[in-house]
Amino acid sequence: MKNNKLVKLKLYIFCTIFIVVSCNFLDVVPENIATIENAFRNKTEAEKYLYGLFSFMPDVGNLAEDPALWGSDEVWVFERTNPSINTRMRQILINEQGTVSPVANYWASQQNNSNANGGKPLWTGITDCNYFLSNIHRPFDLDPYERLRWTGEALFVKAYLHFWLFRQYGPIPVIRENMLLDDPEGSRRHREPVDDVVGYIVDLLNEAIPLLPLMIDFESQELGRPTRCWATALKAQVLALAASPLFNCNPDYADYLDNKGVQLFPQDQSVKKDKWKKAVDAALEAIETAHEAEHRLFDVRLDLFMLTMFLNDSTINALQVRGATTEQWGMFGNREIVWGNSRTNNHATLQRYCCPYFGESHTQRNAGAKLYAPTLRAVEQFYTKNGLPIEEDEEWVDRNVWGLRTAADDHRQYIRLGAETLNLHFDREARFYGSIMFDQGTYYGNGQVLEDNSIDPNFMYVTEFKRGDLSGFTAVENSTQTGYLCKKLLKIGFSAPPTSTNYTGSPYSFPIVRLADLYLLYAEALNEYLDNPKDQPPPNYPDVYFYIDKVRERTGLKGVEETWDEHAIAEKKDKPLSQSGMREIIQRERLNELAFEGSRFWDLRRWKLAEEYIHNQTIRGLNVMDRDNFYEVVPLFTPRFEKKDYFTPIRTDVLMANTNLIQTPYW
């Protein structure tokens, strides 16, 4: 009887819209499969099922599905915008999240439209992973290597889907195996304690790691499939998340118990530091695995050397972080991206939203949408040219950042020669100039890539955002509201010819994990594990400063200790010598290095700093409506961020159907 019921289980693959990438293996759209026997009768059918598992992985970098982009306080968009532009995720930032129809709903499909609020239910993907793992022994024509590799890939996907839900919802049920239809009580799962969830995800990854290839050998066919580097990087993220203040002995959730009285968030202070040691070990494992697979920090001089032969060092330094984010990954491409999202169509669209107007033809309706606007908070957070926060640099103590200044010859790589703009835009670190487009700032690219201002002081494009200028305010659906645009997400090869109404796409794989991310994660974990950053780390472990200094060096900055000693105000010179000081430095470094890549959204939450950074912190921009007062700072919106907002609520009707589930904390 049970066997008959097993055959009649829900065996359809729930997603028939699959990842669209340049890789041939993801172009396959399998037919609906009626039985387990058919799904695994041979290699071809099993492979279709495997590709279906990949399609459940959230589309990172997709504005319509990834909450970390529009939902972050580092970008802003007009409330009334082009209806073709999906800004649903913005509701997370403007306090419109709710339990009836949650935004970024990855828990359960909407009753009428599964994608109405972004994403799709990940539990379906986890269930399909379990079917796959239980039946991959069936195909008669699958060779042993493929069987092991496919098993590792399914384990990885299952771990990743659990991780995404855990990060977004807090303690979750763990789906070790599927329940039979005749066991309805077993299907009404409980949330499980944080440590159990983390342990299970790590177990899945430990099982997957030896089964996965170190790197992809045939990138034209397989780039985008999981590797050992992906799995070790995810393991590092999981353990860093578990060790972070949001999950690690968070007193705010001490009374969050399920309906059986089980405490879901750990409160044992005696193991608090041990969790950071696990995160240290996992981050180092991920780094060493990435190095073994020949990943390294992106370097324009090596990776785009034909373009940089005649470029000024200032231009090159500004291109470093932009190239590290947007140059196509692969063995013969950008080796910094350890794990990228190969669904490229949406990233081409994102670039269109970041691009200014370069010619009158771009002002025609629908030619462009220059609206992906960094907030002033994001603009201010980047370092000075000395490599410190503005408020800690002794050279900036008496500087009026809102005053105006005229660009001299030594500024011309970044600002139009002779132009007047804010003091805030002068003497900043190279990552600022590689990430932010501002009024009178230069723009390297758009087809003009063989030289910069080294020869002709007016060679590079200049972005002008005052009303009446080419990229100034025109209409709410295609204008920056802050007076800035995001340069970092524009690939160097992206082109908008001034005489054409069409943009020449140059898609790329949106980075999920860059090597710089792992470097900074290691520095953070080790700093939290040691009592003092100057303490000796375990044997053969780099010290706290080693990898953060490598990230800084790439864009022309000196090491942390040297920088603060030489340029900091008196009361901050010893900041790198304490754990709390280094914590602030590492966090600021992550905010700068990984800006606009979605990291800020999740980092502020796991650090338990989102209330401090977002709640009642007015989002500000420049006065784009008034040309004569353009540089006046204006308030745009004041968001709220309360304790409940650290996690996403579960839809109300889901809780009614499963009375064993409890709602997300504080909802």
- 3-state helix/strand/coil string of 645-667: HHCCCCCHHHHHHCCCCCCCCCC
> What is the C-alpha separation between 473 and 465, in angstroms, rounded?
7
- Find out whether 544 and 533 touch, Cβ atoms under 8 Å: yes
Rounded to an integer, what is the distance from CA 66 to the centroid of its chain? Answer: 9
Q: ∠ CA(381), CA(387), CA(391), 5° rounding? A: 50
SS3 letters for 602-631? Answer: HHHHHCCCHHHHHCCCCEEEECCCCHHHCC
Look up the CATH number of domain 1-55+121-212: 1.25.40.890
E strand intervals along 184-302: none
CA distances from 231 to 447, 505, 541, 567 (A): 38, 31, 21, 40
- Find out whether 11 and 39 touch, Cβ atoms under 8 Å: yes
**Helices marked H in 502-637:** 515-529, 544-553, 560-567, 579-593, 599-606, 610-614
- Find out whether 507 and 348 touch, Cβ atoms under 8 Å: yes
Q: Report the predicted TM-score, pTM, of the whole model to 2 decimal places.
A: 0.93
> What is the C-alpha separation between 162 and 104, in angstroms, rounded?
16
Q: Which residues contact 567 (CB under 8 A, 6 or more apart)?
A: 384, 386, 387, 388, 393, 394, 395
Q: What is the pLDDT of residue 490?
A: 94
Q: What is the pLDDT of residue 493?
A: 86
**Helices marked H in 293-447:** 300-303, 305-308, 313-326, 345-354, 376-381, 430-435
The 3-state DSSP class for residue 527 equals helix
Q: What is the pLDDT of residue 547?
A: 98
Q: Which amino acid appears at position 60 of this protein? A: V
CA distances from 301 to 117, 306, 436 (A): 43, 8, 22
Q: ∠ CA(174), CA(238), CA(332), 5° rounding? A: 120
Task: Write out residues in the chain with pLDDT < 70, as ranges.
Answer: 1-34, 79-83, 110-120, 180-187, 344-347, 364-368
Rounded to an integer, what is the distance from CA 490 to the centroid of its chain? Answer: 16
- Find out whether 72 and 615 touch, Cβ atoms under 8 Å: no
- Find out whether 31 and 130 touch, Cβ atoms under 8 Å: no
The 3-state DSSP class for residue 475 equals coil
The token pair at 91 is 């509701």
Q: How many CB atoms lie within 10 A of CB 147?
A: 16
Q: Which of 663, 646, 544, 601 is nearest to 245 (CA)?
A: 646
Tell me phi and psi for residue 393, to 5 degrees: -90, 125
Q: ∠ CA(36), CA(37), CA(43), 5° rounding? A: 100
Q: Which residues contact 96 (CB under 8 A, 6 or more apart)?
A: 103
- Find out whether 661 and 642 touch, Cβ atoms under 8 Å: no
> What is the C-alpha separation between 600 and 590, in angstroms, rounded?
8
Q: What is the pLDDT of residue 345?
A: 57
CA dihedral 573, 574, 575, 581 (to 10 degrees): -170
Q: What is the pLDDT of residue 457?
A: 83
The 3-state DSSP class for residue 373 equals strand
The 3-state DSSP class for residue 108 equals coil
> What is the C-alpha separation between 434 and 429, in angstroms, rounded?
9
Q: What is the pLDDT of residue 372?
A: 94
